[in-house]
Amino acid sequence: MPALTCAAVSTLQSFVSIMGVFFATQTPADLSSPKTLKDGEVFDFIIAGAGSAGCVLANRLTEVGNWNVLLLEAGGEEPFESQIPAYGNNLKLTNLDWQYTTVPENTSCGGDPCQWPRGKVLGGSSGINDMIYNRGNRYDYDVWEQWGNVGWGYHKVLPYFKKSENNLDPDIAKDTKYHSVGGYQSVGRFPFTDDNLNPIIKGFEDIGYKVVDFNGRQVLGVAHLQATNHHGVRRSTNQAFLTPIRHIRKNLKIVTNVRVTKISFHGKKAVGIEYVGEKDKSISGKVKALKEVIVSCGSINSPQLLLQSGIGPRETLENLGIPVIRDLKVGYNLHDHTGSFVVSYIVGNSTRPNSDDIYRDAILYSETKRNGPWSGIGSLSITAYTNSRYANTSIDFPDIQYSTIPSTTDSTELGYCEYNGVSPWCYYNRITFMPAILRPTCRGLLTINSTDPFDKPLLYPNTFCDDHDMNTIIDGFVAATKLAESKSFKENGFVLDKTPPPKCAHLEYGTDPYWRCGAIQETHSNYHPVGTCKMGPDTDPDAVVDPHLRVYGVQNLRVIDSSIMPRVTSGNTNAPSIMIGEKGADMVKETYGIVWGY
């Protein structure tokens, strides 16, 4: 079958643009310009960052009618393109993405910088991610509590997952011990199932894995995943938590395209923030917080803001001439789910289209239907969990997660079409079964080398720093190749592609040296960086925030986002970030004697 041609690409772009113009005309006027923020304004709470947790916080704190809340976001409004599930692959490396890269290391990405996309838009990374709704494993949270984070055990966080959830799949929603309906966040399977999904599921069953709901009773196995979509439309936390309230609650002010550059202190007390316009730097000022400043900028921007404000390692701050407010291990404990593009299959049921196919798909995803290939994410709708040699098999705590990543074998042609060199997730003829290390032992570092808040921080991932992490991913590669012998893969034309990475061609396929070389050359982040503002008890010398998410040694300052995770959860991190927002909001309310009926 021919590749996704320039004509087809042009057709796709035309349809997306036309629909984008239509939906722009249906959107209320943007009231979130930086010019609406006045220097010296006073609020009860200031939330820096409108990402997966920040949008939740803005919703829940404004439930208290006499609290005035300011929500600040460096990005802008969500464009229509972000609502199309299949288009998520085309949102990275655009103006919706901070476009972070790591400092080059010999142990990852072939010695080149690795890309670490982060959402720069209302909804944060929930506006550009693959929408996978994955809570992690119950033992993740029990370990957090065992480490001294009282109140963060699974029995305490499960109610907060359920609080936000509106599960759209009756077969899953009926399990009310683990799921609920009626929350702000819609969750469900994608409407469209392409021809490769069931054969992938059956292939894993053939080699011994059961079909599971990994947000329920059992994690080990394979699943048609659920996603933060509402009947074929992305449901970012912006759409889920802000859209229903932003023009109704008068005590919420949202300002986009403005960067928080510094937290203001009076002694050790946070009293507000300083800001600068993201696009128009002539716009600047200070605003005050009577109660608290809440940092919710994510695992890269939150530690950067703390460091710029004088909270972080003393040596780093003094070398830059930043007055030290509090000496804390900000930026330490950086880690991610690392995978690698080494094991791929060419599929018999190619979904690569021509212009006529795209026309058909556009009609299916029209204003009223929201169906067809655009309403899904292709083979990425399947995920599986397996055990490496290090996993404790006496409990349900697998340590490898597979992403089934679609791609096209002719991606070079797309570059000439000015299409970012990538195809929407729904169009592919190759699937990479990428294992990710769920609980890495390696830890990296985030730091700054400039006092300019517009300079990007330095990210040292320290990937594959030890044998544990390398052996774990090797076990993942080996298990992925076993699918080639499954009855389902043979019957459905899935062919293992043994083409080596160029720098690994001298090594024998399937040997440990080959896998090690492949892991280093074809490293890929799952885009789940966490841990840079670590939560821990006061006995933990590396902790930045306490179990109530208050920054140690200062007053009226919290961090509420994925950066507080002591250890990354065993799965995608968007759902846990939403939970952290829900639980964090209740902690704020409790501080002021408010119990909100939950």
For helices 6-25 and 355-364, what crossing angle results, to 10°? 20
pLDDT confidence of residue 61: 98
Tell me which of 42 and 353 has the higher pLDDT. Answer: 42
Q: Contact at 8 Å (CB) between 475 and 339?
A: no
- The amino acid occupying position 18 is I
Cα–Cα distance, 577 to 302 (Å, whole number) = 14
Q: How many CA atoms lie within 13 A of 63 on its CB side?
A: 17
Q: Return the CA Rg of the chain.
A: 23
Which residues, in sequence order, are CB contacts of 189 under 8 Å at separation 6+? 168, 169, 224, 225, 226, 227, 381
List C-alpha distances in Å: 518 to 393, 429, 461. Answer: 27, 21, 18
Hey, which residues does 45 pair with through a beta bridge? Answer: 69, 292
pLDDT confidence of residue 196: 95
Q: pLDDT band for 421, please (50, 70, 90 cuts).
A: very low
Residue tagged 């993201």 (tokens): 278
Predicted model pTM? 0.95
Q: Give the three-class secondary structure for 141.
A: helix
Q: How far apart are the first and last CA of the chain?
A: 55
Q: How many CA atoms lie within 13 A of 264 on its CB side?
A: 14
Q: pLDDT digits over 169-221, tens only?
A: 999 999 999 999 999 999 999 999 999 999 999 999 999 999 999 999 999 99
Q: Contact at 8 Å (CB) between 533 and 330?
A: yes
Structure tokens at 240: 């889920």
Q: Which residues are catalytic?
A: 528
Q: pLDDT digits over 300-356, tens only?
A: 999 999 999 999 999 999 999 999 999 999 999 999 999 999 999 999 877 767 777
Using alpha carbons, select from 508, 196, 521, 467 the residue that is nearest to residue 342: 521
Q: 89-93, 157-161, 280-284, 571-575: lowest mean pLDDT where?
A: 89-93
Average pLDDT over residues 4-13: 53
Q: Contact at 8 Å (CB) between 296 and 581?
A: yes
Which residues, in sequence order, are CB contacts of 452 under 8 Å at separation 6+? none
Which residues, in sequence order, are CB contacts of 51 under 8 Å at separation 6+? 119, 123, 124, 125, 126, 237, 296, 297, 298, 561, 577
Structure tokens at 125: 């990374």
